[in-house]
Amino acid sequence: MPKPPIQLKRSGTASATPAALEHGELAINYNVADGKLFWKDSSNVIQSFALASYLPASGGTITGSLTVQGDLTVQGDVVTLTTSTVVVEDKNIELGYTYTPTDTTADGGGITLLGSTSKTIIWYDATDSWTFNQNVELTSGFSYRINGTSVLNATTLGSGVTSSSLTSVGTVTTGVWSATAIGPTKGGTGLTSVPQGSVLVANSANTISALDGGGSADAVLVYTASTDSVSWATTLDAARLPLATTLAVGGVIVGTGLGVSSGTVSVTYGTSSTSACRGDDSRLSDTRTPTDGSVTTAKIANDAVTYAKLQNVSATDRILGRSSVGSGDVEEIPCGSFGRSLISSADAAAARTTLSVQPTASPAFTGTVSLPSTVNMGSATGNVIFNLGAGATENRFAVVDFIGDSTYTDFGLRVGRTNEGENGASVITHLGTGELQVTALHAGSIVVRTNNTIALSISSAQVSTFGGQLLVTAGSGSSGSYKPGIAVSGDDDTGIAQVGASPANTLSIVTNGSERVRVDASGNVGIGAAPSTKLHINGQTRVTDGTTNIDFVGASGAGFIGTQTNHPLVLRSNDTERMRLKTTGSVRFLPLSADPASGNEAGDVYYNSSTNKLRVYNGTSWVDLH
């Protein structure tokens, strides 16, 4: 523990010796002409000497050497040494002395070497560490040690460093690998031993195993596709033999009906399922008549079946088809003259007359065809296509008119195509004062496509999705009566528009016919003003949480920032309160226990909680304001 400091006190008189002193106390009388320094020696006798002979009481310079045989305590804020070398006999230098030292009082303490930038060794409580703001370099031959063990030198990690988070190393030229086996995904096998006569295979993904031949019999490697695996086999079945195989004497082919003896493959012939069929087998003869009904269409040559081989028709006026429900055999279907129009020109001509169809390559209706109130077209399967103007040899109009009322007897709704060829327009025309409705019943959507790409989709939830840009007019009117291009239904003077003398590349929000907010081409936003900065507000601005209001006001050539309610105004930086303007009018600075070590600029001010003083940075050091 350090010795208690010297206590300095006045004697209480102009020149008299103090009545009493404790050991470690010094007393100075205040007669300048007869100033003396008093102390108590080891015999409890108060001693003194004239300060004028040594050091003026008001301070001064000692031109000779000064020897202090006792302890020297300096209670000022700054000790300045102008010597080039400071020699200290003590082995230990204590910093941050206080009667009750803690990590909090030590926080920020250290050594600062002034240069073009400060070189510091600082201890911080938050990290519980010494922090160097410069590199630390060791002389050649030395190393970094922890608890007496070398952990790093210029070329080598210490032998005690057995755990590391290294992600890459240089080329390893020597050494013995004694760690976990390296798996296939990292370029290894994952094995620690391999028996003699083994083959490395991967019968599971990313897993290599040693397939041991066993050494008891000759074998070959076999790949089985059904299991996607490799194994040893001492026999081969017929499915695994190549088309051309030379076998040694005594070799065996495993398979029904096959065997090898003295290098010759023997085949068992017969009529059973386990024997082979000879080339001269009568079952292979072309003269044999199939009796099992196994002759398929693919086995019959084109044009091989003549009409004579078909079944006879039982009577006149019959066509072959099927009138029974469902699939099945071909049946004879009786038919009259109308049915015979498919095979008789005379009957076909009579049928065309009945149907009012002209005999052309592409038949057309003549006159007026009356249809029932409901016409069903198409079958249960397949597409239904209704072509208008399909046989035209020139550009012509093609329209379908819907007449649904007595007022517009020519048409009420027309769906048509103009006669400009591939550049023609497809048109839907509606007459009348009612609505032209496009309706998707149930949960369907309405989709508009251009170039086979969705341009507009309206879902059953009435959500409209545009596949490209939605272009609207900029709006119309003048200030006070603007009509925005995008407006609110039922409120046509409120919405989004482009207004002003130079509206290009700007966007404005309009309410009640007047511009309220503008975003210009540079991204500047103006509220009640043409913006000249990123945010330009004309008028009083308020930020509130519902209880506390902070107003930004410009008035009478001055700007005001403050609270309108009975709450203080707090300034924060780095999410920490730095200064508070109270409702009483006083200003409170964030207290700090020590001078800030870095980032200081001339004019910086803070309140020192250790000395209860305001301090200012003069550009070189911190000094008290009072």
DSSP for 251-290, written as a single string: --EESTTEEEETTEEEE-BSSSTTSBPPTT-GGG-TTSPP
pLDDT of residue 473: 80
Is residue 348 within a helix (H) or strand (E), and if so which, with residue range?
Answer: helix 345-355
pLDDT > 60? residue 1: no
- H or E stretch at 353: helix 345-355
Q: In sequence order, what are the beta bridge partners of 119?
A: 113
For the entire predicted model, the pTM comes to: 0.34
> Beta 453-458 vs 446-450: how paired, if at all?
antiparallel
Those residues whose C-beta lies under 8 Å from the C-beta of residue 142, and which sit 6 or more positions away, are: 153
- The string of DSSP letters for 227-256 reads TTEEEEESSEEGGGS-SS----TT--EEST
- Start-to-end Cα distance in the chain: 33
b/e for 450-466, b at 16 or more Cβ within 10 A?
eeeeeeeebeeeeeeee
pLDDT at position 168 = 80
DSSP state of 53: G
**What pLDDT, on a 0 to 100 scale, did the predictor assign at position 119?**
93
* 100-158 pLDDT tens trace: 999 999 999 999 999 999 999 999 999 999 999 999 888 988 988 888 888 888 888 88
Helix (H) / strand (E) element for 106: namely: helix 103-106
Average pLDDT rounded to a whole number, residues 233-259: 51
Cβ-based neighbour number of residue 429 at 10 Å: 13
**Beta partners for 36?**
50
With 0-12 / 13-18 / 19 or more C-beta atoms within 10 angstroms meaning exposed / middle / buried, residue 385 is: exposed
Copy the structure tokens of residue 261.
């003896």
Maximal C-alpha separation, the chain: 164
Q: What is the pLDDT of residue 258?
A: 47
pLDDT score for 249:
44
Lowest mean pLDDT among 26-35, 402-411, 610-619: 26-35
Two structure tokens written together for 497: 């528009």
- Residue 241 pLDDT exceeds 60: no
Condensed to tens digits (0 to 9), the pLDDT of residues 335-387 reads 776 666 666 666 666 766 666 555 555 555 555 566 667 777 666 677 777 77
Q: Is the pLDDT of residue 256 over 50?
A: no
